[in-house]
Amino acid sequence: RKEVEQDPGPFNVPEGATVAFNCTYSNSASQSFFWYRQDCRKEPKLLMSVYSSGNEDGRFTAQLNRASQYISLLIRDSKLSDSATYLCVVRSNSGYALNFGKGTSLLVTP
Amino acid sequence: GAVVSQHPSWVICKSGTSVKIECRSLDFQATTMFWYRQFPKQSLMLMATSNEGSKATYEQGVEKDKFLINHASLTLSTLTVTSAHPEDSSFYICSARAEDQPQHFGDGTRLSIL
């Protein structure tokens, strides 16, 4: 079983729609959680960290459920520029290396 | 913000060539650098963790004699793909972190072996 699992999509949504991505992780000792964004043929860029209390950054809301080992990302009022692959990323408590999910592809259409 | 520079960004070589990729932290001293590889439609997979002045720690299944990592200074790590073959064609990305700081990623190197 992979350490980080995501629905690969693709998710095709119209501009202005709300879309949610889910992610599960297998290592219960994981300590840090992130969502990264990766554009085609580019390096991943940190979108936001995910905290147990849930956190929001503009149109983006992230949630973490440690009991279920589940992470989510909600994007409201989707923009064309949100089209990308969203990577769920988990860091275990040993070392600082990151474990990446395969990513969920989002295409926002006019 | 913190910047990590990776060079070259794109390499096309013949089979059997050795290719060196550089990763530099431009405005901070990186105590640890990481090398990842990403095949098409796959997740980034950690290849090795490199601490300045010590030998790299390789992930299971990654050949250390094939992928030579040198981390000679706090701002530079290099990955050399020795005798590259078409199956080594991939997107190689480095990241760097300072103490108690998040990782910052380089732009990536797209390696194509013919």
Q: Which residues numbered 3-32 in B keep a CB inside 8 Å of some CB on A?
A: 6, 32
For residue B54, the one-letter residue type is S
Rounded Cα distance between B58 and A77, Å, is 42
Q: Is B46 on the interface with A (CB under 8 A)?
A: yes
What share of chain B has pLDDT > 90, as a percent?
75
Q: What is the pLDDT of residue A94?
A: 67
Rounded to whole angstroms, how far apart are CA atoms A24 and A101? 9
Residue A39 touches partner B, C-beta closer than 8 Å: no
Residue type, A95: G
The percentage of residues in chain A with a pLDDT greater than 90, rounded to a whole number, is: 73
Share of chain B above pLDDT 70, in %: 98
Query: Which candidate, B22, B24, B35, B2, places its Cα nearest to that of B102?
Result: B2
Q: What's the mean pLDDT in B9-34?
A: 93
Residue pLDDT, tens place only, B77-104: 999 999 999 999 999 999 998 887 788 9
pLDDT in tens, B27-80: 889 989 999 999 988 889 999 999 888 889 999 999 999 999 998 889 999 999
